Amino acid sequence: MNTPPSPALRLQGKAAIITGAASGFGRATAQSFAREGALVVVADLQSGPGLALVSELQQQGHQALFVQCDVSLEDSVQALVQTTIAAFGQLDVVVNNAGTTHRNKPALAVTSQEFDRMFAVNVKSLYWMAQAAVPHLKSSKGCMVNVASTTGVRPGPGLTWYSASKAAMINLTKGLALELAREQIRVNAVCPMIGETAMLEQFMGMPDTPENRQRFLARIPLGRFTRPEDVAEAVVYLASDAASFLTGVCLDVDGGRNI
């Protein structure tokens, strides 16, 4: 009996930075990238969970390293990219997943400190990453995938300023896609619905109970929250050669919420 060939790995040999990779959507994305053959850079503020993930990936036979990074700071992002180049000699994919939010509450109750930190992490980080990574993505004809949110298209009650930061990310995705297309660099985004991550209670603005979850689930046609693996699979696809003619796409991963 002939053994069927193994399916080709979708990201074989591609060096990828994934920010906010120590938990949630980022952790699942790092795991999926590694399984698909990528050389994975786990970037996060949290060194403990980040190093634990890298150890797990290495034990599974994957190539991975951890870099502590605050994506809101220019020097930290520059160091992240330079460490990646030093380790792997190339940069093919950047996943801008790191993000933060204010707790679900009225717009006027959000402090200026909360606002500034959120826009620094969710929006200005893209500016710093573009400055640091694009010169290397030009060489590899690589791509960038940004993790935005359905609220960037359809604002959620109590999340006005967070929604605005994600709307900016969506607009930046499209603008960069247009500008960098001449360099054969693709820029896309995924827009998850509220997900089963450590920030779930912040997004809900109330205790994480079955009853309160149901209030949010009622808005989702497919009847469940976004899972980390849902986002990871969408990001893998957009980073792969199967999506080589897609740029400026903002893919809803939302169970039909934005219909």
Mean pLDDT, each 10-residue run in order, the chain (259 residues): 67 98 97 98 98 98 98 98 98 97 92 97 98 98 97 90 97 98 98 70 58 72 90 98 98 91
Strand 15-19 and strand 186-192: pairing?
unpaired
pTM score: 0.92
Q: For residue 207, what pLDDT is reported?
A: 62
Domains (ranges, CATH) in the chain?
15-243 (3.40.50.720)
Q: Edge-to-edge strands of the sheet including 186-192?
A: 64-68, 39-44, 15-19, 93-96, 143-147, 186-192, 250-253
Q: Which of 33, 128, 162, 225 is catalytic?
A: 162
| Active-site annotation holds for 127 | no
Q: Identify whether the C-beta of residue 99 lies closer than 8 Å to the C-beta of residue 121.
A: yes
**Contact indicator for 150, 252 with CB cutoff of 8 Å:** yes
